[in-house]
Amino acid sequence: MLLRHTPKEIAERSALTVNPAKTCQPIGAMYAALGIHGCLPHSHGSQGCCAYHRSTLSRHYKEPVMAATSSFTEGSSVFGGQANLVQAIDNIFSVYNPEVIAIHTTCLSETIGDDIPQIAKKALADGKIPEGKHVIHVNTPSYVGSHVTGFAGMTKSMVDYFAVSTGTKCNQVNIIPGYVEPSDMEEIRRIVEMLGVQAVLFPDTSRVLNSPQTGRHEMFPKGGVTVEALKSTGDSMATIALGRLASGPAARALDTKCKVPCEILDLPIGLRKTDVFIDTLRRIAGVSVPESLNVERGQLLDIVTDMHHCFYGKTVGLVGDPDQLISLTEFLVSIDMRPIHVLTGTPGKEFENRIREITRDVPRSVNVRAGGDMFLFHQWVKNDPVDLMMGNTYLKYIARDEDIPFIRFGFPILDRVGHSYFPTVGYRGGMRLLEKILDTLLERQDRDAPEERFELVM
């Protein structure tokens, strides 16, 4: 009901966010940590923070998300959380026996200034970290960045803590998949395997947050990149990072630390971006593209050709993460749709510049905002309605209020399933996206059609 009071008149707001279009850094850090095999994420802060991070991921993936917390009390909040964290490390290794504890900080521990590396060193000196086990960390205050930057920070920590260069290069490529679904990571691995390339994918949440139902609970599912594989990334011949914001920092850190050259690409969403990913991998590894991949590409192109009249000229409003929106916007523009409202909650002027460049030939004025909120997006839509909206579950309220067709895309999706099992990257993912767009547009067309235009065949 409150959305109906959103005014059309837009006023600049510098110190107020209404209905944010992002979640906090620790959620992204926790998600990345789950992509390490045998890893238990640890939230250094209060129980309430950890509960929120776990519940958001559990609701999105419909899977139990295991994580620990330092359980700050009033005393910890005043005098620091060192004693809590040292005790937590001891308890975790004694009770759960993970391979890795991945610590991320919260607003509280960041504000009081806890030094995590120093605390971890004390835990090691006190014999709390067993031989062969590992503790890594990343600083993730929630009052800056977003879940995307938290993911990027934890992924970079994997490089900082594990990557080692022995001086002897091995015939493998590092793939950093970016902040995408487990299904997308699985699809990226499938494409790499079809090309016959040996690769280390990190992080890798496939078979962790989309694991099969076996009737038994596993504290540490079989999926995830191993510590041994992470150590070997320093000897790889190259790194391909997918998503500049989520994957770029880790790729550049690996280049600096171990002299592994990197190529930082956009996420392979849609025809062109997937072409670039596959061609880059082909060139680096010196392999040929198999006919099976060319068939998938041709199938995606065939759908675009057959149904182009349904896409042409349709206006779209997008809310989501920067890396995903950049590739999605280009895909939509390439099929002659018109993204005219594009907003992310993650700050960064580069995003705005990229979207403006991609939409420069769209014959409409285009609104773009990084670090915006859904209140502003709603105002844009009120002033200039669109044919379709795409974004996370929270966008459903605006879609209902304005009676606009809506496709769930991105994070978090709390009221639907399938996103963790069916990819949107690669040629197959592009076909799925087109199917969802077509179904949504044509269902609305059927709903609104008068009797004489209610067609059997489109």
Q: Are strands 338-344 and 367-370 parallel, antiparallel or unpaired?
A: parallel
pLDDT digits 0-9 by tens, 302-314: 999 999 999 999 9
What CATH fold (topology level) applies to the domain 296-452? Rossmann fold (3.40.50)
Q: Are 32 and 151 in contact (CB under 8 A)?
A: yes
Asked whether residue 301 carries a pLDDT value surpassing 90, the answer given is yes
| Mean pLDDT of the 408-421 span | 97
| Distant-in-sequence, close-in-space partners of 379: CB < 8 Å, separation ≥ 6 | 6, 7, 8, 9, 10
pLDDT for the residue 14: 84
Q: Are 239 and 262 in contact (CB under 8 A)?
A: yes
DSSP string, 82-125: HHHHHHHHHHHHHHT--SEEEEEE-HHHHHHT--HHHHHHHHHH
CATH number of 173-292: 3.40.50.1980
Q: How many CB atoms lie within 10 A of CB 409?
A: 24
Look at residues 201, 203, 206, 200 and name the one whose alpha carbon lies nearest to residue 182. Answer: 206
pLDDT for the residue 2: 55
Q: Are 238 and 262 in contact (CB under 8 A)?
A: yes
| Mean pLDDT of the 421-447 span | 97
| Mean pLDDT of the 386-403 span | 97
Give exposure, 281-300, as e/b (b: 16+ Cβ within 10 Å): beebbeeeeeeebeebbeeb
Task: State the residue for tokens 């880059």.
Answer: 280
Phi then psi for 104, rounded to 5 degrees? -125, 145
Look at residues 430, 437, 435 and name the one whose alpha carbon lies nearest to residue 278. Answer: 430
Element (H, E) at 199: strand 199-201
Rounded-to-integer distance, Cα 46 and Cα 410, Å: 28
CA–CA distances in Å: residue 384 to residues 24, 310, 331, 402: 30, 21, 22, 11
**In the structure, what pLDDT confidence band is assigned to residue 74 with cuts at 50, 70 and 90?**
confident
Asked whether residue 445 carries a pLDDT value surpassing 80, the answer given is yes
CA–CA distances in Å: residue 455 to residues 303, 437, 440: 20, 19, 16
pLDDT digits 0-9 by tens, 199-241: 999 999 999 999 999 999 889 999 999 999 999 999 999 999 9
Rounded-to-integer distance, Cα 12 and Cα 146, Å: 21
Collapse the DSSP code of 437 into the 3-class scheme (helix H, G, I; strand E, B; otherwise coil) and give the result: helix
| Burial bucket for residue 360 (CB in 10 Å: 0-12, 13-18, 19+) | exposed
CA–CA distances in Å: residue 194 to residues 226, 288, 397: 22, 10, 41
Tokens (6 digits) for 22: 């992002």
Q: Do domains 25-161 and 296-452 have the same CATH topology?
A: yes
> How many percent of the chain have pLDDT more than 70?
99
Alpha helices in 195-270 (DSSP H): 227-232, 244-258
Q: Are 41 and 30 in contact (CB under 8 A)?
A: yes
**Whole-model pTM above 0.85?**
yes
Architecture of the domain delimited by 25-161: 3-Layer(aba) Sandwich (3.40)
Q: What mean pLDDT value characterizes the chain?
A: 96
Q: Are 175 and 242 in contact (CB under 8 A)?
A: yes
For the chain, domain boundaries: 25-161, 173-292, 296-452
Q: Are strands 100-105 and 68-69 parallel, antiparallel or unpaired?
A: unpaired
Tokens (6 digits) for 396: 């459903």
| Distant-in-sequence, close-in-space partners of 246: CB < 8 Å, separation ≥ 6 | 148, 151, 152, 155, 178, 179, 321, 323
Q: Are 300 and 423 in contact (CB under 8 A)?
A: no
**In the structure, what pLDDT confidence band is assigned to residue 431 with cuts at 50, 70 and 90?**
very high
Query: What helix, strand, coil percent values describe the chain, rounded to 5?
Result: 50, 15, 40
Look at residues 2, 117, 23, 95 and name the one whose alpha carbon lies nearest to residue 319. Answer: 23
Asked whether residue 455 carries a pLDDT value surpassing 80, the answer given is yes
pLDDT digits 0-9 by tens, 150-206: 999 999 999 999 999 999 999 999 999 999 999 999 999 999 999 999 999 999 999
| Burial bucket for residue 255 (CB in 10 Å: 0-12, 13-18, 19+) | middle
pLDDT for the residue 457: 85
Question: 350-356: which pairs have CB atoms within 8 A and are 24 or more residues apart?
Answer: 350/244, 351/245, 351/322, 351/325, 351/326, 354/326, 355/325, 355/326, 355/329
pLDDT for the residue 75: 77
